[in-house]
Structure formats: C-alpha cells, structure tokens
Chains A and B, each alone.
Chain A
Amino acid sequence: MVRGVPPAAKLLTAFLITATAIFMLVPLAVVMLSSLSASEFLVFPPRGFSLRWYGEIMASDAYLKAGWTSIKLALVVTVLAIAIGTPTAIALYRFRLPGGEALGALFLSPLVLPTLIFGIGLLVLFSSWGGGPSFTGLVIGHLVISLPYVIRTVGAVLADADPALEEAARTMGANVWQRYRYVVLPQCAAGMAAGGFFAFNISFDDAVVALFMRAPDVETLPLRIYSQLEFSPDPSVAAVSTIMILLTIFLVFLIDRLFGLKRIA
C-alpha cells in the first residue's frame, strides 16, 4: 500500500515554490517598482509615487532613438529568421540527408558557443571588410543567434505533423509550389509564429552582440540601459526596463498561445 506524500515533503514543496518565486521574480519586481519612484535617485523601496520618469523617457531623444533602432532591428531579424529558418527546418526534418544529424547540431551551435567570441569575431570581420560596426552587422549577428530558435520551433511542429499529407498531395498531382503553399507551410505555421516571437525577443533583448556592433548611430535599448548602469542609473532606466519587461510578458503569453510553453522544456 502506497502512503501519500509525507507532510514534510509537502511543506518543503510549498517552501520551495515560494522561495523560487521570490528569487526568480524579485529582480524584475524591484526594477518595475523603482520606475514609479518620485525621487531623483534610484532608491528602493521607492519614495513617493509618480509616472514622471515615463514622461522623461518619452521626451528623451537618446531613449527614443535607441527604442526605434531596437524595434526596427528586431522586426528585420524576425522576418529574416523566419524566411531562412523555416526552409532549413523543413530540410532537416522532412528529408533523409547524409550527415543530417551533424548538420542539425551545427545549426544549433550558436546556442551554446559563447556569444562574446562570436560578437568579437563579427566586429573583426566588419572592421576588415564590412566598413565597421553597422546596423547590417547587428542584423546579421542577431540573425545567427535567433535562427536556432526558429529551426527548433518549426522542427518541433513538423515532428508532430503527418508527413503522409505531403505524399498524398504529391500523388494527387500537386506540384512543388502547391505542395508547399497548401500543405507544408500550413503545417509549419504555429512553429514559424512562435519562432518569430522568439527571434523578436532575442534581438530586442540582446546586449552582447550589440556591444560589439555599437556605433554612434546604432545603439539599442539594452545597450543604452547597460551604459546607464555603468555610469549613472536613475529611475528613467527603470522605466525603460519596465516597458521591456511588459513586452516580454506579452511575448511569453503569445508564444504560449501559439505553441504551448510546456513544449519549451
């Protein structure tokens, strides 16, 4: 006869969940609360309550320009990552390729090889042949680090989809375009969307590649925040960070709706 979970274990579980929740969320909560402070300096707990720092960033050229750069960058990266990652995933998951497994591992390698090294390499490359750090360099760097996510999400939905449908379309006389347009791409759609939101989020949040591709006219929001933290953090940094956290919550919600967060594990 199996007895239930002992009370000590239940208690420990409750403690574990509470402690983890605090530990994981407190840095985000602290940033969000600091942005509401009325004082001139970054203090916690915040003194007073005001939204003035949000007004301040709306009036700040540096933040607006960085915000615009970040949004433009993330959108371009998202489109490219979907356009290049989807066919790659189809090739890897729908065809028996010689050395396909090794190739798949190579495509995922930017996830684990240090971004720092890749960032410096990209800087060296762009300094010798690309005319120095630039928006294009940033797009290329972010494309490389977000491509694995699109390949993985599209690959995951393809693994669940029925390959026989494609074969059926072929035998019913569909040509290549019809097969992709009406069968394969609809099968990939959820993975493409989820991968796209990942790509957007990665590009929008990255500070390492952005650090090396930094030029006077290409500063992104995370880098703007990084520079402020190195020198003089004030509550306006907290306000920008809060906006970025809210955007992340929104993206996580969307990815869950389209793809299911459970499948990330």
Chain B
Amino acid sequence: MTGSRRTKAAIRSRREPLLLLGPGVAVLALAFFLPVFQMLVLSVQVTGADGQISFGWDHFAKFFVDDYYLGVSIRTFRLAGLITLICFLIGFPLAYVMSRVGSRLRMLLILLVVLPLMTSVVIRTFGWLVILGNGGLLSDLLEVTGVTDRATRLMHTESGIVISMVQVLVPFMTLTILGVLQRIGSDLEQAARTMGAGFWRAIIGITLPLSLPGIVSGCLIVFALSISSFITPTLVGGVRLPVLAGSIYSSVTGSFDWNFAAAQSVLLLLATLVVIVPYAMLMRRRDTKAVR
C-alpha cells in the first residue's frame, strides 16, 4: 500500500516539472533557437546561377575580402572597446559610492541608473540627437565656456556615438559591479584601514581586486551589448559611420541580400559568444559561491 503510494508521488513529482516547463521550452525552442538556427543555415546557403542551392562559405568570403566590411568591423570593435573602458571608469566609482552611502541616497542613485535604463533606447537616442546636434546644447555649451572657439560638430562623429552609447550602457556596468560590491561588503576594507591603510589605498588594494569578477562580467556584458547595438550608432553616426549591426540591417532592407546578412549575423553572433561564454561562467561561479 504505502509502497505504491510512494511510487505514485515520485511519478507525479517527476511529471510535474516537465508539465511546468513545457510551454516555456516550446517558446524558447520554436521562437528563439529556431530563428537563430535559420540564420546559421542561410549563411552557408549558396544559390547558383541555375537556381540550384548548395552549401558553401561564399558569403563569408565576400565579407573578408572587402575592405569596406573589414573597416566596419574594426570600427565596431574599436568603439565597443572604448565604450566599455569609459563605462568602467564611470561605473565602478558609481557602484562603489552606491554600495557605501545610506539607504536613501542609494535608492536615489539606483533610480538615476534604472530610470534611463527602462526608457526606450529610441527616446534616449532622440535626446542625444538634440544635445549633440549642430548648434545643439553641447556645442553651445563648449563655445560659451570657451573650451572650443567655434561650433563643434558631434553628430555623425565617433565621439557622438561613444557619448550616447556610454549613457545607454553605463547602467549595465554599474548594476553588475554593485551586485558584487554588496556581496563582499566593507569589512576587509575597514580592516585594512584599521591596520593603517589610507582611504585610497584600501580601495585600490582591497576592494578593487575583490570586485574583479564583477568588473570583468560588467565589461563583458557592456562589450557584447555594444558590438550588437544598432539603433543608437545608426541614428547618431548616420550612414557615414556604419557599425556591424547597421551593415547587417542595410543588407536586409537595402540590398535584400538575406544570405549575406545572415553571414554577417553569424560573425556577430560568434563575436558575442566569445565574450558571453566567459561571462556566463563567471556569473555561475558567483552564484554557487553565494549559496555556500
């Protein structure tokens, strides 16, 4: 009697999670992995002159022999590197201050970061178009304060892209580092200071190295998001300064070359994975550590 009831309970609890997971797995597989898989297939599909479809690397070859696309890639990665660096320089001190101030000020700072984060990227970019525009706010400000002696052009420049992208991505850096800073707390830093270390020395010698996992994951995620963003670089940079994502978009809508767009997407995906896989591993280690 009890034996059969027990097996029943075991069967139920084995079936229960599968039923719960069913809809989610279906959505993930059909609506996410299937489209991404399709892009992989498209990228190696070559249509011959007679309409015959074969498989090959032609679309990738097209990318690698063309100086234009190489230039686009170099710009994409250079800008992403610069954006990541600046995001760190702003994000770390900000996260540090957040983790050390009183709860009311911390709430205000979190709001300062989360509110823009939750606002549509299109709208934030719109704000930057007005600020960076010729004769816009920033140009006037630089002229009035005497930093420059004539109207500065920031629209359609790489500086413009970097400024606006940093504002879009700084929240990711700050929140990732903040998560780690809150976990490590301030005990060791306090201890170092009791032992005579100065304020700055305690931060640079103790807190900074301890928060390295957070810094690395923050940088990886900002870099990954940066190489794949499209709306902000396209609107601020214009057609003269295309990035990889913009080039993919114009292959889809301009030349309708879906195979080539797919090949570029696969390259972007590979670049993202190279960055994201270590990120996921770092995050997992952080989680298991927290459990212990």
A and B form one complex? yes
- For chain A, the count of residues having a C-beta within 8 Å of the partner chain is 89
Contact in complex: B23, A225 (CB < 8 Å): no
- B52 touches A (CB below 8 Å): no
Beyond A24-B112, A116-B245, whether A85 also contacts B24 by CB under 8 A is: yes
Q: Which residues of the other chain, A, contact B179 by a CB distance below 8 angstroms? A: 265
Residue of B nearest to A4 (CB): B199
0 or 1 for each of A221-241: is its CB under 8 Å from B? (1 = yes): 010011001100100011001
Q: Which of A48-56, A60-68, A100-108 interfaces with chain B?
A: A100-108
0 or 1 for each of B251-274: is its CB under 8 Å from A? (1 = yes): 010000010011001001100100
Q: Which residues of the other chain, B, contact A83 by a CB distance below 8 angstroms? A: 23
0 or 1 for each of B174-195: is its CB under 8 Å from A? (1 = yes): 0100110010000000100110
Contact in complex: B119, A124 (CB < 8 Å): no
- A190 touches B (CB below 8 Å): no
Q: Which residues of the other chain, A, contact B119 by a CB distance below 8 angstroms? A: 28, 205, 244-245, 248
> Taking the nearest CB of chain B, how far is it from the CB of A70, in angstroms?
10
Contact in complex: B27, A144 (CB < 8 Å): yes
Q: DSSP majority for the B interface?
A: helix
Q: DSSP majority for the A interface?
A: helix
Q: How far is the CA of A103 from the CA of B33 in the complex (A)?
A: 13
Contact in complex: B31, A143 (CB < 8 Å): yes
Interface residues of B in 125-143 (CB under 8 A from A): 125-131, 136-137
Q: How far is the CA of A116 from the CA of B170 in the complex (A)?
A: 20
> Taking the nearest CB of chain A, how far is it from the CB of B267, in angstroms?
10
Beyond A116-B230, A252-B118, whether A87 also contacts B24 by CB under 8 A is: yes
- A38 touches B (CB below 8 Å): no
- B10 touches A (CB below 8 Å): no
Q: Which residues of the other chain, B, contact A3 by a CB distance below 8 angstroms? A: 193, 199
- B111 touches A (CB below 8 Å): yes
Interface residues of B in 99-147 (CB under 8 A from A): 106-107, 109-116, 118-131, 136-137
Contact in complex: B90, A20 (CB < 8 Å): yes
Residue of B nearest to A86 (CB): B20
Contact in complex: A20, B31 (CB < 8 Å): no
Q: Which residues of the other chain, A, contact B136 by a CB distance below 8 angstroms? A: 44
Q: How far is the CA of A1 from the CA of B248 in the complex (A)?
A: 60
The 4 A-B pairs at the shortest CB distance, nearest first, are namely A27-B127, A121-B35, A88-B24, A114-B228
Interface residues of B (CB under 8 A from A): 12-13, 16-21, 23-25, 27-28, 31-32, 34-39, 42, 90, 93-94, 97, 106-107, 109-116, 118-131, 136-137, 164, 167, 170, 175, 178-179, 182, 190, 193-194, 198-200, 221, 224-225, 228, 230-231, 235, 245, 248-249, 252, 258, 261-262, 265, 268-269, 272, 276, 279-280, 284
Interface residues of A (CB under 8 A from B): 1-3, 5-6, 9, 13, 16-17, 20-21, 23-31, 34, 42, 44-45, 83-85, 87-88, 90-92, 94-95, 97, 101, 103, 105-107, 109-110, 112-118, 120-125, 140-141, 143-144, 147, 151, 176, 201, 204-208, 211-212, 222, 225-226, 229-230, 233, 237-238, 241, 244-245, 248-249, 251-252, 261-262, 264-265
Please list 10 pairs of residues, one from A and one from B, whose beta carbons are closer than 8 Å in the complex, sorted by A's number.
A88-B25, A92-B21, A115-B228, A118-B32, A121-B34, A144-B27, A207-B231, A208-B231, A244-B119, A261-B107
10 extra interface residue pairs, beta carbon distance < 8 Å, beyond A229-B235, A230-B235: A24-B112, A26-B127, A30-B130, A87-B19, A101-B284, A122-B31, A147-B28, A205-B123, A245-B123, A251-B118
